[in-house]
Amino acid sequence: MAMIFVQVPLSHSTSSKSHVNVYHLLLLLFPLLYLPAARYLKVNPATAFIGTMIATSAAAGATYGGGLRSTLLVFVASSYFLGVVFGRKLPEMDLRRIFIWVLGCCITFLLVRDAVYAGQLGAVYARSEGASSILYMSTGGRNIEASLLALLSILMLGTRAYPIAAGIALLTSGMMLSRAGLIGTAISIGIAAYRARKTRDYYFYTFLGVAVGVLLVGLVVSSVIDVPILDRFNLQAETQLAHKNVGRLALWNTAGLALDHNLLGYGVGNGVPMMEELSGLTFVENNVHNIYLQFLLEGGVQSLLLFLVMVGQILLTRTEGQQSNIKAFLLCYLILAFIEFSGYEAYLWFFVGMFYARGERRRAEKRAEARAARDAAPTTLPEPSHA
């Protein structure tokens, strides 16, 4: 599970702009150990989405071909399956301990990485262009590293490790000038404040008031002196990048061009290549940094609708215990997914599988408790009749 967060790269493909990491090999091997647990798989919006994406990619492959990135569906399915297995098999306390150990692995990696690059810490944490050779926690670079730390802190909610996790996420996101990391950390702290409330309205409005106050002070200060982190939220900068065919706005505009030609999906891995072919542009990215647009582009309307049904179910499901933290993790990811991620990450589908498995486990436990209560109830025998 730690390897999902601490991604150790093995190779890099320049043609598909993708990395092969250690966890990819683990995701191919580990499901073989748990094949009997396939009985835990149920028909739900998540499995329907995965099945539809596979069918769409297979059909689109005949027209648009396929490359290395088309194998992402294998890792999506493997991650989901392992999440289901671990979610059904692990008790609450074991799951909490594992999350804390995962945090420990991430902290260890950060300390070792910073020690190795002790002479280049400015390049590690500053937004410089000369940091391509630096090993980040994620092969997606500093932005994903900051986002993963924010997401991981949510899994620590309710433990004494949470302040440590949230503090590291906030510090890392601030130093790396990561928009998504800061938004994710704000969501994490907001959830923590909400859960620690004495009265719902007091803490909720206190959090909003502090957040708005900090924003206003930041805007005033930025008008007097240069504050680099606020520049990261400058939409004018994104517009200027779009004119150079770089950045999210350029990707989203070109994705619209590709969707005009096909709304039924180009197949996994074919989204950006088809955008390049239709527009004549060349992009550095291998995804559009918006998973909803990515699924529409590669999986078609049918896949996106199923994914939205899954999102709605996660949002509306009442949860308890570790499933509540997993739900918060997924909702934070789904908010950040409007501006980053590809949608095929193992840490998304692993926790989607775990979310559904924890729900099934809780329902199974309640059925067992109900049966035990019925079996323990005394049987009332009719009184014998008297003449």
Look at residue 222 in the predicted model and tell me its pLDDT.
Answer: 59
Supply 348's token pair. 């998304």
Look at residue 48 in the predicted model and tell me its pLDDT.
Answer: 96
Question: Which amino acid is it at 246?
Answer: V
Tens place of pLDDT per residue across the chain (387 aa): 899 999 988 888 777 778 888 999 999 999 999 999 999 999 999 999 999 999 999 999 888 888 778 889 999 999 999 999 999 999 888 999 999 999 999 999 999 999 988 888 888 887 665 556 788 998 888 889 999 999 999 999 989 999 899 889 988 888 888 888 888 888 888 888 888 776 665 666 676 557 656 665 665 565 556 666 556 555 555 555 555 555 678 888 889 999 999 999 999 999 999 998 988 888 888 889 999 999 999 999 999 999 999 999 999 999 988 999 999 999 999 999 998 899 999 999 999 999 999 999 888 888 888 888 888 877 655 666 554
Angle subtended at Cα 26 by Cα 347 and Cα 31, rounded to the nearest 5 degrees? 85
Q: Going by C-beta distance under 8 Å and a sequence separation of 6 or more, which residues neighbour residue 26? A: 3
What pTM was estimated for this model as a whole?
Answer: 0.87
Look at residue 333 in the predicted model and tell me its pLDDT.
Answer: 96
Look at residue 387 in the predicted model and tell me its pLDDT.
Answer: 46
What is the biggest distance separating any 2 CA atoms in the chain, rounded to whole angstroms? 103
Ordered DSSP codes for 282-347: --S-SS-S-HHHHHHHHHHHHHHHHHHHHHHHHHH----THHHHHHHHHHHHHHHTTTS--S--HH
Look at residue 165 in the predicted model and tell me its pLDDT.
Answer: 93
Question: Which amino acid is it at 162?
Answer: Y
Cα dihedral 239, 242, 248, 252 sign: positive
Helix (H) or strand (E) holding 94: helix 92-116
Look at residue 80 in the predicted model and tell me its pLDDT.
Answer: 97
Look at residue 374 in the predicted model and tell me its pLDDT.
Answer: 83
CB atoms inside a 10 Å sphere around CB 55: 14
Ordered DSSP codes for 214-242: HHHHHHHHHHHS--HHHHTT-HHHHHHHH
CB atoms inside a 10 Å sphere around CB 348: 24
Report phi then psi at 11, rounded to 5.
-155, 165
